[in-house]
Amino acid sequence: MLFPRVGRKQPMLRIAWWAVVAFLCLGIALHLFPFYFMLVSSFKSGEEVLAFPPTFWPQDPSFAGWKLVFQIVQGSAGQLLDAPLWLFFWNSVQITFWVLVIGIPITSMAAYANSKLQRGPMARWSFLFFIGTLMMPAALTLIPNFLLTRNFPFALPNAPNIPGTDTAFPTFPIWDTHWAVIFPICFQAFNFLLFKGFFDTIPDSVIQAARVDGGSEFNIFRRIVLPMSVPVYAVTIWTAFSLAWDQFLWPLVVLQTPERMPMSVELYLLMERIVQSGGTSAEAAAAEAEVMQDMLGGGLSWNGLMVLAILQSLPVFIAFIVCREYLLRGIRLRGLK
Amino acid sequence: MTTEAIAEPRYSSETAIKVRGVQKRFGDKHAVEDVSFDIADGELLVLVGPSGCGKTTTLRMLAGLEPVSDGQIQFGDRVVNEIRPRDRRIAMVFQDYAIFPHLTVFENIAYGLRSRREARKVVKDKVTEAAQTFRIDHLLTRKPRQLSGGERQRVALSRAMVRDAALYLYDEPLSNLDAQLRHQAREDILTLHKNKHRPTVYVTHDQSEAMALGDRIAVMADGRIQQIGTGSDLYERPVSEFVAFFIGTPSINLFDMEIQADGDGAVMVGSGLRLRVHPSMTAAARAHVGQRVRMGVRPEDLHVPRMAPFEVTEENTLHGIVTLIEPTASGCTVYLSTAEGQDFVATFTVRLPNSYLDQEIPLGIDLSKVHLFDADTGASLLKGDIDAVSR
Amino acid sequence: MARIDIDHVVKHYVDDRIVQTNTGRPALDDVSLQVADGETISIVGSSGCGKSTLLKVVAGIEDPDQGRVRYDGVDVTGVRPQERGVGMVFQDYALYPSMKGKGNLAYYFDVHDSSKEEAEQRVRETAERMGVGFDLLLGQVPTTLSGGEQQRVAIARCIVRDPPLFLMDEPICNLDAKLREQTRVEIRKLLRKFKITTLYVTHDQQEAIFMGDRIVVMRDGRIEQVGTFDDLYYTPASRFVATFIGSPPISVLPAAVTDGRLQLAGASWDLPSPVRAAVPDGPVDLAIRPEGWRLDEADGLAVSVRHIERLPTERAAFAYGTVAGRNVTVILPVDHPERDQLTATPDLDRAYFFEPDGERPLHTPGVLELF
């Protein structure tokens, strides 16, 4: 432990100890406050949310925000959604599911191979290559990635011609499909780093013992390494889950069909429509203005958005609870030096 | 900030270190139960015991790395229970040497002095002198990873050397060294100890290391000190079966026996043997007639009949089948087992040819040197004159 | 059961760094060794001498750059360790932490398409052979076992499948001194019982002497000498072997020979005739073991004593002192009085002679005739 274990009764150390405790509490409070405010705001009335100075406890608790979101989901508050909400939820579930099912095995096996199977400069170079992708800002890869989804496997505006002919190479456009959202985030360099760091701590002798025992490389990975690595899987699954669930910009770019949007994008669009009155056509604007009147009358503005935000972050929170359980269980299982 | 050195605490050093009824609990588990001892100025006390006996925890409490659950630790006449390590004026050498990998050898050695803001000149002189003592003065600009294990160990010793500590602590400093380097390292530790002439506590699990280094040795087991004494005290007059077994390699051989009266004398019967109790022990043995006892015979006290320094008769002979012969520089160690299947060991000063493997040979027991222990408690029966476990 | 031939094996390690910092020295440099069926060979050397690498090459975990490894005359170089069927015990036991003791033993059968019943039976048999109390270890996860218990499970994991070859890499060096002493006897007895060909790697010479029918001394990737304890102790092939074997180590003193007399630190003695024949006139390095000194004789050397180490358990004391600026160790009776000066004469019948500053021995005493 960083703090000396002996001599805590000395006055200077006591003061230092309480200072440390105070800083920790402050840190926790700063972290938790946005969540608290989100939760509290969802129970405020429309006027109170916008009141200044802000209130930290609803003066006049109301379920107006929750009610309205419920109506929107049911479709009784006008056509604000392009499709029933459960469809977008299902889209998100599908995308996240495939990201985990494809991404985690690929990432972990790549890290295992890099940590235990590759040797010498090869191992170092490939490690640097993977980690190098972390240095690349997402904005830089946005356009090439987009082109790639249009003309897979070419990151070009148009597929090149087959040499000597006029016909272009066949391409497999995955643009405007879920796969365009899934593939780019399957391999996550940060998770690779986590896996690699963990596998490096597994003694080589355990793997060599299994080899001498006759286990094939894949069997060793599945039977020996995997059960030892539960905690790191818990961590990476959670990070991959929240990344896939919350991703926003990329699906907005590659998905066109409204019915294919994930929850995160759809909620954003919904918020936008709620907040902005007016639309593309006069008729729609009139209709929406009418709806807005209704909603504001019912108390929906920011409080409704808070409800939606809670709905969006709930699955991530649940995933965290589940992974946390395995994290602790795995630590108990391992611990073998 | 002043440039003066921060004064280290002074302790009166009449009895340098006193440990009184010290306990350590982790949750409801007792790691150390009631340990008490004194260390005189300039004395080297070795704590020795099997792993998990509490010896390292005791050392860490002395260092202040671990709070004391109960009892008192005194440096001189000052109770130090609540004083943190940096204010205790101790120097410690760790098993893995605990060398800072990012600092040069010079900076590693100087660290203790620098953190007490010694003058630059003093630091340089002290570090150079210590490095010369331990033959690493040519390595001062190197980084630790360029050093061999033995050199790292000497850096750790130099780091203790530059300090003026009230207590020097060693936590198994030799266990990571190759056998060939250990003799030299032991000597280096003694050099340091003689140079400082301060109370020193040395922890090890190796009894031969304890024997070689300790002015006194404390044998620990299950969080308690079993016996404190000089090497020959522990070897010749162990208070219990555990101490007898722990001290000496190969270990003492133990046989289950029963004491019976036989005329004026006494005999021990059991394990297929009938042995006459040596006259010097008859009185003690007759007090336990009819009791089950454990007889301890050191491997050195088993002799080839023709070379025994005493007359070998039926009443002091043990027969055994040779199972292994280990050559040593001074002769050999022979592993045998009796007809009843009990294993025992004998060491000879001559070489037993391999042709004796799986043969039965007779061995004379030097009955004047056997030990008798209570079969239930393990306490020594014979040595009424041993002081109870020294406190 | 198998005979092992290691034939001119060379092994270089690839440096892990991107920029090649080629140290040049191979981990194994032209190593050849024949191991007879059922024989136990200990391989001893200081850390980094290549002893573990040799073991890995024999196991197939590492491929040699050059040279061949044969089991019973069959070339297995390049055969994967999975197909060799050897048993290996590691320094850190390398138990599978997620499996109980039993799972550790049964893993071999899992990956070899054996029936459940066969695995069960073999595990049961092995548990019986491993002795009392072993059953209890089978039901436990490795983390809850002590070092000694983990090591027993690791050995059982190898025995369970009757390997033709047993490879042990410092299997007991993580144990307590006392436990180590008991365990090595146990291992030796098991090896004698099963008569499995064994390579046993250790850095502890006493352990090597105890475990091996023959002992291999390695240094810097090369084999220095192969032989029994007596060969290594009394007729070392090099100065390195002489200083490596024996504890406390042998003392080396620079001396000179003129007209068949040995001159050392102002004193001189007649050389015995076998020595005189082997050692030419001129400078020579005299090496004496602690027991190779005679005390308190008129023509002795003055040894200034630094300290005396008393070992009642070994019924001896060792005096560490200096002669002519060189460190020497002299064995004394355990009750020898404390003194700053000793008079000791080198027993030239038991002395070793090396060419000055060279490795080559000029004369070694050979095994002493005791009878």
**How does pLDDT run across A259-307, given as a tens digit for each residue?**
888 988 888 887 777 666 444 456 665 666 666 666 655 555 677 778 8
Of A18 and C132, the structure prediction assigns the larger pLDDT to: A18
pLDDT-above-70 percentage for chain B: 94
DSSP letter (8 states) at residue C295: E
Q: Is residue A42 part of a domain?
A: no
pLDDT of residue C8: 93
pLDDT of residue C115: 86
pLDDT tens-place string over residues C326-346:
899 999 988 888 888 999 999
Is a pLDDT exceeding 50 seen at residue B388? no
C209 CB neighbours in chain B (<8 A) are 326-328
Could you tell me which chain B residue has the CA closest to the CA of A2? Answer: B65
Q: Is A106 helix (H, G, I), strand (E, B) or coil?
A: helix
Calculate mean pLDDT across residues C98-126: 88
Calculate mean pLDDT across residues B273-277: 89
pLDDT tens-place string over residues C154-197:
988 988 888 889 999 999 888 888 888 888 888 888 888 888 89
Calculate mean pLDDT across residues C89-94: 90
C18 has a chain A CB within 8 A of its CB: yes
Contact assignment for C82 to A123 by CB distance below 8 Å: no
Contact assignment for B350 to C370 by CB distance below 8 Å: yes
Of B247, B251, B329, the CB nearest to C181: B251
The C-alpha of B84 sits at a distance from chain A's nearest C-alpha, in angstroms, of: 5
pLDDT tens-place string over residues B76-132:
888 999 888 888 889 999 988 888 988 999 999 999 888 888 899 999 999 999 999
Residue-wise DSSP of C38-74: T-EEEEE-STTSSHHHHHHHHHTSS--SEEEEEETTE
pLDDT-above-90 percentage for chain C: 40
Of B208, B235, B329, the CB nearest to C246: B329
pLDDT tens-place string over residues C133-146:
788 888 888 888 88
| Three state DSSP letters for chain B | CCCCCCCCCCCCCCCCEEEEEEEEEECCEEEEEEEEEEECCCCEEEEECCCCCCHHHHHHHHHCCCCCCEEEEEECCEECCCCCHHHCCEEEECCCCCCCCCCCHHHHHHHHHHCCCCCHHHHHHHHHHHHHHCCCHHHCCCCHHHCCHHHHHHHHHHHHHCCCCCEEEEECCCCCCCHHHHHHHHHHHHHHHHHHCCCEEEEECCHHHHHHHCCEEEEEECCEEEEEECHHHHHHCCCEHHHHHHCCCCCCEEEEEEEEEECCEEEEEECCEEEECCHHHHHHHHCCCCCEEEEEECHHHEECHHHCCCCCCHHHEEEEEEEEEEEECCEEEEEEECCCCCEEEEEECCCCCHHHCCCEEEEEECHHHCEEEECCCCEECCCCCCCCCCC
pLDDT of residue A143: 86
CB count, 10 Å around CB of C128?
Answer: 11
Question: Counting one residue from A and one from C, how many pairs have CB atoms under 8 Å apart?
Answer: 93
pLDDT tens-place string over residues B332-346:
899 999 988 899 999
Structural domain boundaries enclosing A282: 67-333
pLDDT-above-90 percentage for chain A: 22
B255-374, superfamily in CATH?
Answer: Nucleic acid-binding proteins (2.40.50.140)
Q: Do B96 and B156 contact (CB within 8 A), yes or no?
A: no
Could you tell me which chain C residue has the CA closest to the CA of B244? Answer: C313
Annotation: CATH topology of C253-363: OB fold (Dihydrolipoamide Acetyltransferase, E2P) (2.40.50)
The C-alpha of B146 sits at a distance from chain A's nearest C-alpha, in angstroms, of: 21
B62 CB neighbours in chain A (<8 A) are none
Is a pLDDT exceeding 60 seen at residue B6? no
Amino acid at B232: S
Calculate mean pLDDT across residues A312-330: 83
Which chain C residues in 19-58 lie under 8 Å from chain A, judged by CB atoms? 20, 56
Of C46, C188, C311, the CB nearest to B180: C46
The C-alpha of B82 sits at a distance from chain A's nearest C-alpha, in angstroms, of: 4
Is a pLDDT exceeding 80 seen at residue C59? yes
Calculate mean pLDDT across residues B38-61: 92
In this prediction, the answer to ipTM > 0.90 reads: no
A324 has a chain C CB within 8 A of its CB: no
Domain boundaries, chain C: 4-240, 253-363
pLDDT band (50, 70, 90) for residue B391: very low
Lowest mean pLDDT among A92-96, A116-120, B83-87, C366-370: C366-370
Could you tell me which chain C residue has the CA closest to the CA of A228? Answer: C98
Give chain A's mean pLDDT: 82
pLDDT tens-place string over residues C95-109:
998 888 889 999 988
A31 has a chain C CB within 8 A of its CB: no
pLDDT tens-place string over residues A151-205:
888 878 887 888 888 888 888 888 888 999 998 888 888 899 999 999 998 888 8
C56 CB neighbours in chain A (<8 A) are 208
A333 CB neighbours in chain C (<8 A) are 97-98, 141
pLDDT band (50, 70, 90) for residue A52: confident
Give chain C's mean pLDDT: 88
A219 has a chain C CB within 8 A of its CB: yes
Is a pLDDT exceeding 60 seen at residue A336? no
Is a pLDDT exceeding 70 seen at residue A335? no
Lowest mean pLDDT among A290-294, B22-26, B167-171, B240-244: A290-294
Is a pLDDT exceeding 60 seen at residue C275? yes
The token pair at C3 is 């005979």
Domain boundaries, chain B: 17-241, 255-374
- Please give the tally of structural domains in chain A: 1
B66 CB neighbours in chain A (<8 A) are 5-6
C108 CB neighbours in chain A (<8 A) are 213-214
The C-alpha of B381 sits at a distance from chain C's nearest C-alpha, in angstroms, of: 21
Could you tell me which chain C residue has the CA closest to the CA of A123? Answer: C16
Distance CA B181, CA B22 (A): 35
Is a pLDDT exceeding 80 seen at residue A2? no
Is a pLDDT exceeding 90 seen at residue B45? yes
Which chain A residues in 223-252 lie under 8 Å from chain C, judged by CB atoms? 223-224, 227-228
Of C272 and C19, the structure prediction assigns the larger pLDDT to: C272
Contact assignment for A224 to C56 by CB distance below 8 Å: no
Calculate mean pLDDT across residues C25-48: 91
Of A327 and C17, the structure prediction assigns the larger pLDDT to: A327
Annotation: CATH topology of B17-241: Rossmann fold (3.40.50)
pLDDT of residue A285: 59
C144 has a chain B CB within 8 A of its CB: no
pLDDT of residue A72: 72
Question: Counting one residue from B and one from C, how many pairs have CB atoms under 8 Å apart?
Answer: 95
pLDDT-above-70 percentage for chain C: 96
Q: Is residue A43 part of a domain?
A: no
Of C61, C90, C97, the CB nearest to A336: C97
pLDDT band (50, 70, 90) for residue C72: very high
pLDDT of residue B10: 64
Subunits with 3+ C-beta pairs closer than 8 A to C: A, B
pLDDT of residue C40: 94
Pairing of strands C293-295, C341-346: antiparallel
Of C47, C310, C313, the CB nearest to B247: C313
pLDDT of residue C161: 83
Which chain C residues in 237-296 lie under 8 Å from chain B, judged by CB atoms? 243-244, 246-249, 289, 291
A5 CB neighbours in chain B (<8 A) are 65-67
Instruction: Please name the CATH architecture into which domain C4-240 falls.
Output: 3-Layer(aba) Sandwich (3.40)
pLDDT of residue B3: 42
Distance CA C295, CA C305 (A): 14
DSSP letter (8 states) at residue C284: E
Distance CA A288, CA B126 (A): 85
A5 has a chain B CB within 8 A of its CB: yes
The C-alpha of A186 sits at a distance from chain C's nearest C-alpha, in angstroms, of: 28
C309 CB neighbours in chain B (<8 A) are 186, 212
C312 CB neighbours in chain B (<8 A) are 211, 231-232, 235-236
Domain at A184, CATH number? 1.10.3720.10
Could you tell me which chain B residue has the CA closest to the CA of C204? Answer: B179
Could you tell me which chain B residue has the CA closest to the CA of C320? Answer: B187
Calculate mean pLDDT across residues A206-230: 90
C200 has a chain B CB within 8 A of its CB: no
A123 CB neighbours in chain C (<8 A) are 16
Contact assignment for C95 to A125 by CB distance below 8 Å: no
Q: How many residues does chain B have?
A: 391
DSSP letter (8 states) at residue A57: S
Q: Is residue A11 part of a domain?
A: no
Could you tell me which chain A residue has the CA closest to the CA of B86? Answer: A4
Is a pLDDT exceeding 90 seen at residue B41? no
pLDDT of residue B365: 94
Is a pLDDT exceeding 80 seen at residue C15? no
B250 has a chain C CB within 8 A of its CB: yes
Lowest mean pLDDT among A260-274, B119-133, B218-232, C198-212: A260-274
Sorted by sequence, the CB contacts under 8 Å of residue C308 that are 6+ apart come out as C317, C318, C319, C320, C332, C336, C338, C339
Question: Counting one residue from A and one from B, how many pairs have CB atoms under 8 Å apart?
Answer: 27
- Listed residue (C270, C230, C259) closest to C246, CA to CA: C230
